[in-house]
Chain A
């Protein structure tokens, strides 16, 4: 995996492990494998998924003609981050244990190429440090198997998700 978020330094990742089945409401298991790496206060997350037309929501998007919805790349990034934060990290990078992080802002997203059944996509993300309120930013680029950039996504997460207070 040599491609990365533009301007980001390459960070070596550990071997990929199977992503857990999400223990939260999710439209599909949006990542198959996930690996993490750490450098200079930044966590890198690389996740892959094979698009299959039998995923529950995909039969309606669209009947007889599956296209992986752009919003499911946002979902994939959410699940990749959740899986990565469950893995051990170096002490200086350890995020405070606590509630699962969830998306509080879609800062920007651009969807650039279609993903169809059989396509394998790779998400390459950089996860920033958590602030005192449990918020952190994630920037990701998504590649199709042929190397074409399928999407660029910037999300903001927060421990426990949006504040409902």
Chain B
């Protein structure tokens, strides 16, 4: 299990874009179960009028996907660190090799997605449980698939997400072209 303090060491996102509260279980290289509680306190509900259709208060699908993507990112980053640590020739390893380095010099980016089906909306009060499985990992990019549950009910099937880690310094601050990321 990873508590919120440890998640902050792994992910570079911060409030209000850090959309992961706790990792319930993780098997490096294989799978993760992680929790995100949806709250009416979140900025996406700020300034919303009363009396709208109930589905207007549904948690935005963009944030649902982002939250799942952050669970996928923790799985991949912890898996990468774990694989490195298990190498016989690993040596002492500088701190820069730790997954926590993602909060410093590396940026985790959403590369692509396919076949993500939202089966039910999520609302404030729902506790999202992301279950994600690590697929292929190639050239600094990873493929992750899984599901989002609320209680025992599945609310989304995530066909595949592809994420990439890039050093922040490779992303142009202004102008220029940088392919493969956003």
B89 at the interface (CB under 8 A from A): no
Tell me the chain A residues, 54-75 only, with Cβ under 8 Å from chain B: 56-63, 65, 67-75
Most chain-B CB neighbours within 10 Å: which of A21, A56, A69, A116?
A69
Q: Which residues of A contact B118 (CB under 8 A)?
A: 103-106, 161-162
> Is A25 touching B174 in the complex (CB atoms < 8 A)?
no
Among candidates A23, A60, A78, A112, residue contacting B13 with C-beta atoms closer than 8 Å: A60
Residues of A contacting B15 in the complex (Cβ-Cβ under 8 angstroms): 60
- Looking across the interface, which residue of chain A has its beta carbon closest to that of B182? A111
The CA of A105 and the CA of B168, in the complex, are separated in Å by 31
Chain B contributes a number of interface residues (CB within 8 A of A) equal to 55
Stretch from A11-19, A37-45, A86-94, A145-153 forming part of the interface with B: A145-153
When A67-B107, A71-B62, A114-B181 are in contact, do A61 and B13 touch as well, CB less than 8 Å?
yes
Cross-interface CB contact of B110 among A75, A103, A111, A164, cutoff 8 Å:
A111
- Give the residue name and chain of the B residue nearest to A110 (CB): B112
20 residue pairs of the A-B complex, CB under 8 angstroms, read: A23-B52, A25-B59, A27-B43, A27-B63, A56-B43, A57-B44, A59-B17, A60-B13, A61-B13, A61-B14, A65-B168, A67-B182, A70-B110, A105-B118, A113-B179, A114-B171, A116-B174, A118-B174, A146-B175, A163-B120
